[in-house]
């Protein structure tokens, strides 16, 4: 049997393997798409359209707000002339999968018919049973979403939560005091939504950090405010532009005095100092939470580009080694950095890797990253999937895309004699279902064990 035949057999078998989706942005009260815009203008598709010449590359209104019908329709009409140019992309493959499988839509989207499709999707926007059925069709038993999107717990039966709140080591476009501002805006507040990517106009924070004592008081508040009984992880971004050496108290105090004239040097001091103090405090709760972080997506005016320095990877190996009682898990958006991270996982027992994120979520890259991890890491040190979806429909599409790539990778390894068919299925089940439980603490939905 050749690789293609093995892959076809494996794809059919993989459809029966349950999946735990370890990172999404689903909203408990509105799990499904609110209209065509939630499918057609998912932020990865917006980037495709912007590249193709669409004049607006910004995301639509983001949580805690929602796009109005007028905003959504205006952006759809703006995108329509450019759809013809992105039908070669894997993002558009995802759109086709959603519309074909879930909405039985088999014709091109045009200026004459898009409102009919929008109405079809909006009819089910408030139907929680419909959204849950989409997840079941994808084989996704549970997902992990932002805690700030939990609402009153309407989605607790299918959701667990990550705390995506302060991001003290993420750079923002054109800013140099982001770490301080993000700490200030969380000081004295309960967990809420994170800052949007890209920076821009910042609401005035209630408090201002002026001293080292303020820094440590704000960090103490943050760590004490984490709802450890309701979240299983953090979800934060880490920038490659920051130098993560350990600044002294004296350096940090002097940098605080220069905040009004801050540049890259001050930015690095703020982020490295606050980041290390935060990790040291969080490590005291290391048995209660996993520090999930992302690498390799650096801000541009609208979204990000994939880049990462070897120096950053080396410094983070030191950071992870310095905090052995805290579990670290990485989402990587840089294909070439995957091999380095695998070597780090082999030598750092508290470090693991998860899924395919943002600029790595393209079929060929998924296959490369997955094959490399399967060769380099034990199956209990890697998680095979997360969708990064904002609605159930995109979790569905991404689950199908990943299964197809996983089947090809496993099929090649079976064809060359590295695994038997049965061994390939055991490995797939472990990385899709078992390691999200053992590494991250996700739990199956009672009564739906598979």
368, 337 in Cβ contact below 8 A?
no
**pLDDT value at position 449?**
45
pLDDT per position in the chain (450 positions), as tens?
Answer: 667 777 889 999 999 999 999 999 999 999 999 999 999 999 999 999 999 999 999 999 888 889 999 999 999 999 999 999 999 999 999 999 999 999 999 999 999 999 999 999 999 999 999 999 999 999 999 999 999 999 999 999 999 999 999 999 999 888 999 999 999 999 999 999 998 887 678 889 999 999 999 999 999 999 999 999 999 999 999 999 999 999 999 999 999 999 999 999 999 999 999 999 999 999 999 999 999 999 999 988 889 999 999 999 999 999 999 999 999 999 999 999 999 999 999 999 999 999 999 999 999 999 999 999 999 999 999 999 999 999 999 999 999 999 999 999 999 999 999 999 999 999 999 999 999 999 999 999 865 544
In a domain, 362, yes or no: yes
**pLDDT value at position 448?**
56
35, 449 in Cβ contact below 8 A?
no
Do 160 and 281 belong together in one domain? Answer: yes
**pLDDT value at position 145?**
97
Q: What span, in angstroms and rounded, lies between the C-alpha atoms of 280 and 275?
A: 9
Please state the φ and ψ torsions of residue 382, each to the nearest 5 degrees: -145, 145
Pick the last residue of a domain from 86, 106, 123: 123
Do 346 and 226 belong together in one domain? Answer: yes
Do 266 and 305 belong together in one domain? Answer: yes
Do 73 and 149 belong together in one domain? Answer: no
Q: How far is CA 333 from CA 5, 297, 371, in A?
A: 31, 6, 16
Output the six-digit token pair for 113. 């018919």
Number of domain units in the chain: 2
Do 161 and 219 belong together in one domain? Answer: yes
In a domain, 27, yes or no: no
3-state secondary structure of 316: helix
> What CATH number has the domain bearing residue 358?
3.20.20.140
In a domain, 5, yes or no: no
Do 155 and 62 belong together in one domain? Answer: no
**pLDDT value at position 194?**
92
Closest CA to 388 of 157, 125, 197, 128: 197
**pLDDT value at position 305?**
92
Do 298 and 272 belong together in one domain? Answer: yes
Pick the last residue of a domain from 68, 94, 123: 123
Domain of residue 106 covers 34-123
In a domain, 401, yes or no: yes
Residues 6+ away with beta carbon under 8 Å from 361:
44, 90, 388, 398, 401
In a domain, 78, yes or no: yes
In a domain, 16, yes or no: no
Do 198 and 336 belong together in one domain? Answer: yes
**pLDDT value at position 227?**
97
Do 170 and 301 belong together in one domain? Answer: yes
Pick the last residue of a domain from 123, 139, 167: 123
In a domain, 345, yes or no: yes
**pLDDT value at position 450?**
45
Residues 6+ away with beta carbon under 8 Å from 172:
178, 195, 197, 198, 199, 299
Do 204 and 352 belong together in one domain? Answer: yes
Do 83 and 190 belong together in one domain? Answer: no
In a domain, 15, yes or no: no
**pLDDT value at position 447?**
59
Buried b (16+ CB within 10 A) or exposed e, 178-197: bbbbbbbbbbebebeebbeb
Output the six-digit token pair for 154. 């309407």
pLDDT digits (tens, 9 = 90+) for 329-377: 999 999 999 999 999 999 999 999 999 999 999 999 999 999 999 999 9
Do 50 and 174 belong together in one domain? Answer: no
Q: What span, in angstroms and rounded, lies between the C-alpha atoms of 97 and 247?
A: 50
């Amino acid at each position: 049997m050749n690789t293609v035949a093995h892959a076809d057999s494996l794809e059919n078998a993989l459809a029966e393997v349950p999946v735990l989706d370890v990172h999404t942005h689903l909203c408990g009260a509105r799990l499904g798409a609110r209209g065509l815009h939630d499918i057609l203008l998912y932020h990865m598709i917006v980037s495709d359209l912007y590249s193709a010449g669409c004049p607006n590359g910004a995301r639509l209104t983001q949580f805690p707000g929602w796009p109005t019908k007028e905003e959504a329709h205006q952006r759809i009409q703006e995108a329509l002339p450019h759809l013809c140019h992105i039908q070669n992309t894997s993002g558009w493959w995802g759109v086709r999968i959603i519309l074909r499988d879930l909405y039985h839509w088999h014709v091109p989207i045009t200026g004459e018919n898009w409102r009919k499709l929008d109405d079809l999707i909006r009819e089910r926007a408030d139907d929680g049973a419909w959204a849950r059925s989409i997840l079941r069709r994808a084989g996704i038993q549970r997902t992990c979403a932002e805690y700030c999107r939990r609402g009153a717990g309407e989605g607790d039966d299918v959701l667990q939560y990550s705390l995506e709140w302060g991001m003290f080591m993420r750079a923002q476009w054109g800013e140099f005091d982001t770490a301080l501002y993000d700490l200030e805006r969380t000081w004295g507040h309960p967990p809420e939504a994170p800052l949007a990517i890209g920076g821009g106009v910042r609401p005035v924070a209630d408090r201002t950090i002026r001293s080292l004592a303020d820094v440590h008081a704000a960090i103490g508040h943050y760590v004490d405010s984490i709802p450890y009984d309701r979240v299983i992880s953090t979800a934060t971004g880490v920038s490659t532009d920051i130098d993560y050496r350990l600044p002294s108290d004296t350096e940090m105090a002097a940098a605080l005095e220069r905040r009004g004239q801050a540049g890259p040097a001050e930015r690095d001091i703020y982020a490295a100092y606050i980041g290390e103090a935060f990790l040291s405090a969080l490590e005291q709760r290391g048995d209660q939470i996993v520090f999930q972080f992302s690498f390799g997506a650096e801000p541009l005016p609208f979204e990000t580009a994939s880049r990462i320095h070897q120096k950053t990877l080396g410094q983070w190996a030191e950071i992870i080694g310095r905090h052995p009682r805290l579990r670290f898990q990485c989402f990587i958006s840089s294909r070439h950095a995957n091999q380095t991270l695998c070597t780090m996982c082999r030598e750092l027992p508290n470090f693991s890797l998860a899924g395919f994120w943002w600029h790595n979520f393209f079929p060929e890259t998924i296959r490369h990253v997955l094959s490399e991890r399967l060769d380099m890491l034990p199956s209990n040190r890697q998680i095979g999937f997360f969708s990064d979806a904002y609605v159930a429909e995109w979790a569905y599409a991404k689950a199908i895309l990943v299964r197809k790539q996983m089947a090809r990778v496993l099929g090649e390894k079976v064809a060359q004699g590295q695994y038997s068919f049965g061994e390939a299925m055991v490995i797939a089940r472990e990385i899709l279902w078992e390691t999200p439980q053992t590494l991250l603490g996700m739990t199956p939905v009672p009564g739906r064990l598979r």
